[in-house]
Amino acid sequence: MQAGYLKPIQVKEGQEVEKDQVLFEVIPTLYKAKLDAELAEAKLAELELMNTRRLAKDNVVSPNEVALYEAKLAKARAKAKLAEAELGFTKVRAPFSGIIDRLHEQQGGLIKEGDALTTLSDNTLMWVYFNVPEARYLEYKAGLSEEKEDPRIELVLANGSKFPYTSTNLTVEAKFNNETGNIPFRADFPNMNGVLRHGMTGNVLIHRTLPNAVIIPQRATFEILEKRYVYVIDKDDTVRQREIAVRNELEDVYVIKSGLRVDEKIIFEGIRQVRDGEKTEYQFRSPDEILKHQKFHAE
């Protein structure tokens, strides 16, 4: 932008603006006068060239003199174009549609070339950065080879509501931070409603579809020396303690990695009243019955 005094500013902080909209304008009097002077010089050079060409037809002047005036006209026109460009630089237009940040100058302020007047943010697509622990990252990479579709990614805002648009892209940065044990991820969210702003916080939910997964309620398990177990009922109604490996831990359930088959019965209630190797009497409840009375948060 050219140096000068700012005219009244037509935009406000936080305002949405369109591409090519005028944001700031310097009082153009000096630059307009310079353009008018250069245009006058170009017109004078054009008249001189026309007169020289007429004289050349009568062999009064040489062809070299005609070429000299042609060069003079070209120079004058170039200077006029430069002055026109300088006049154009008295206006600052939005290079893209976005939101105006804080205004650093006000009407009448004297600005110089290179001064920062404001910041324009394009919020139509927001980059959401979050850190993932190394173990979860390895789970995520292993799951990609098993799933046919990319995981669905949602954003929970600071007030607990879900952002209405899901992520269109998930990027894993190349560098692992061995000090924190995390790997930076980035999810891209379309921001058509303009709700998201730079610097906001929230939680990222990554939904994965696990085919043929065995899922059990957390309350049906118990822990001994950092290992997790369930009670399995065998064919002769005997209780057997079984170690299990958990693949994923959700709010109410565990996704089992190993240790249980889908056709086995486990004790869901009363695990504190039974012992390994004891005979037991039980009332069988199908998974569908349990699902009616317990709310799971799994996909």
Question: Domains in the chain and their CATH numbers?
Answer: 4-120 (2.40.50.100), 125-207 (2.40.30.170), 214-293 (2.40.420.20)
Confidence of residue 10 (pLDDT cuts 50, 70, 90): confident
CA-to-CA distance for 163 and 194, rounded, in angstroms? 11
Is the pTM here over 0.85, yes or no? Answer: no
Mean pLDDT of 255-271: 88
- What is the pLDDT, as a whole number, of residue 148? 57
Statement: residue 260 has pLDDT above 70: yes
> Cα–Cα distance between 73 and 147 in angstroms, integer?
71
Please tell me the predicted confidence (pLDDT) of residue 293: 57
Q: Express each pLDDT in 144-187 by its tens digit.
A: 666 556 678 999 999 999 999 998 788 888 888 888 889 999 99
Mean pLDDT of 120-134: 87
pLDDT digits (tens, 9 = 90+) for 17-39: 888 888 878 777 777 888 889 99
Q: Please write the tens of the pLDDT for every residue from 221-245.
A: 999 998 999 999 998 889 999 999 9
**Euclidean distance between the first and final Cα of the chain, in Å?**
54
Read off the pLDDT of each residue in 126-151 and give the average, rounded to a whole number.
77
- C-alpha closest to that of 275 among 240, 226, 237: 240
At residue 1, the pLDDT reads 54
What lies within 8 Å, CB to CB, of 251 at 6+ separation is: 296, 297
pLDDT given at position 296: 45
* Burial call 39-55: b when 16+ CB within 10 Å, e when fewer: bebbeebeeebeebeee
pLDDT of residue 292: 60
pLDDT at 299 over 50: no
Please report how the helices 63-88 and 29-57 are oriented relative to each other, as an axis angle in degrees rounded to 10.
Answer: 160
Kindly state the average pLDDT of the residues 280-297.
67
The type of residue at 77 is R
In the chain, the percentage of residues whose pLDDT exceeds 90 is 23
φ, ψ of residue 143 in degrees (nearest 5): -70, -25
pLDDT in tens, 190-223: 988 888 888 889 999 887 777 788 888 888 899 9
